[in-house]
Amino acid sequence: MASFKLLLVSVFTLFLLPNSVLSVCKNPPVIFNFGDSNSDTGGLVAGLGYTVNLPNGRTFFGRSTGRLSDGRLIIDFLCQNVNTSFLSPYLESMGSTFSNGANFAIVGSSTLPRYVPFALNVQIMQFLRFKSRSLELVTAGSQRMIGDEDFRRALYMIDIGQNDLAHGFKNNLSYAEVVKTIPSVLKEIEIAMKTLYDQGGRNFWVHNTGPLGCLPQKLSMVEKTSRDLDQHGCISRYNDAANLFNEGLHQLCQGFRSEMKGATVVYVDIYAIKYDLIANSSKYGFSNPLMACCGFGGPPYNYNIQITCGQPGAQVCNEGSKLVSWDGIHYTEAANNIVASKIQTNVFSTPHIAFDFFCH
Ligand SMILES: *[C@@H]1O[C@H](CO)[C@@H](O)[C@H](O)[C@H]1NC(C)=O
Ligand SMILES: *[C@@H]1O[C@H](CO)[C@@H](O)[C@H](O)[C@H]1NC(C)=O
Ligand SMILES: *[C@@H]1O[C@H](CO)[C@@H](O)[C@H](O)[C@H]1NC(C)=O
């Protein structure tokens, strides 16, 4: 028993260490991020005035920041890893600093339809405005905004697609119909990347999508029999769709790399990292990987769409660090920390480039 505990402790130290010891990054890259709630650091709350209540934020910030988690998101850990501040949401007009980049990601975003706030295309249009305004301000003498050279050397991060797949299933499309939408979703991502490239962007960091069928929200709401579930209790067709999307995204990144001169495109297999976390949850110190910490209804999933985390009546577990899922859709800070640590090993990146490669 004692040696088992020791083993657990050493496994933990192994994974937690990279975040507590900052890598030496004297000149962190400017970062621009595009995506959905997986990387929204407060954009929805700033943009639409929605409230995200405690216990969101309880573990790290001690207050709600608009992040859907009890603490930091993957992108926050990545920023810490290269010694740069957390990214301010583009839409946050108060207390924001944009000298290290901006975050355009918004909760609920998908790629299609493309002219609806805050579709990927809208986020890109916001970026174009941000860029032209920033260059104007620099020309006028501002030291606090981003100049042309930094836009070129910046790291452009994209993490989107989960909601496109989720919306398809939610609208009662069959598996085959959902799969048919994937090429147009990928096309949107490609258009976004080409636009950034045409603007001079050369460094791209692309996250694939996680195992949609393992989210407690999906598991609690979708009618299913045991035949619909895989060996870890996740909805097979949801995960199959995510895998097909990821194959297409992988190819897109490969094609982009060879066609776009001078582009560095890193494709990161978030799916593999998250699925391992769920399949081997006890190895990482987690119990019950398919149950939300914050929600309503108790086991097996603790999710109720009428009483979600932060709403009156929702209940929250004592130790978020023991669960993978925070609110049924988003991961706990503890899980995000492990995912970010794994990203930093570069084992899950194609090509095998580490995040701090972009320090200069
Ligand atoms: C982190 O950044 C600060 C200033 O932004 C700098 O003083 C410090 O040396 C950096 N640390 C490392 C380990 O690169
Ligand atoms: C999908 O099907 C369910 C069950 O048949 C129905 O309750 C729901 O309204 C449908 N949703 C849409 C968007 O058509
Ligand atoms: C679970 O861990 C084992 C042992 O490390 C590994 O072989 C397996 O691939 C993991 N499962 C998943 C789904 O990643």
Q: Hey, is 317 helix, strand or coil?
A: coil
Q: How high is the pLDDT of residue 15?
A: 45
Residues sharing a CB contact under 8 Å with residue 1, sequence separation 6 or more, in sequence order = none
> Which pLDDT tens digit goes with each residue over 65-108?
999 999 999 999 999 999 999 999 999 999 999 999 999 999 99
CA–centroid distance, residue 28 to ligand 1 (Å): 9
CA–centroid distance, residue 70 to ligand 3 (Å): 27
Which ligand has an atom closest to residue 169 CA?
Answer: 2
CA–centroid distance, residue 41 to ligand 1 (Å): 22
Active site residue 232: no
Q: How high is the pLDDT of residue 24?
A: 81
Q: What is the distance, to the nearest Å, from the Cα of residue 175 to the centroid of all Cα atoms in its chain?
A: 24
Count of beta carbons in the 10 Å neighbourhood of residue 14: 10
For residue 31, which of 100, 106, 81 has the smallest C-alpha distance? 100
> Which pLDDT tens digit goes with each residue over 228-248?
999 999 999 999 999 999 999
Across the beta sheet with 155-159, the strand order is 101-103, 31-35, 155-159, 203-207, 264-268, 349-350
Query: Rounded to whole angstroms, what are the CA distances from 267 to 90, 207, 299?
Result: 24, 6, 35
CA–centroid distance, residue 22 to ligand 1 (Å): 9
Per-residue tokens: 241: 């769709």
Contact 56, 309 (CB under 8 A): yes
State the Cα–Cα distance between residues 76 and 112, nearest whole angstrom: 26
Active site residue 70: no
Mutate to test the pocket of ligand 1, among 25, 83, 97 (most ligand atoms within 8 A of CB): 83
Point out the ligand 1 atom lying closest to the alpha carbon of residue 22: 13
HSE toward the beta carbon, residue 155, CA cutoff 13 A = 24
In the chain, which stretches have pLDDT less than 50? Answer: 1-21
Q: Which of 330, 341, 349, 356 is flagged as catalytic?
A: 330
Does 280 contact ligand 3 (Cβ within 6 A)? yes
Residues of the chain with pLDDT > 90, as a percent, come to 92
Q: Are β-strands 264-268 and 349-350 bridged in parallel, bridged antiparallel, or unpaired?
A: antiparallel
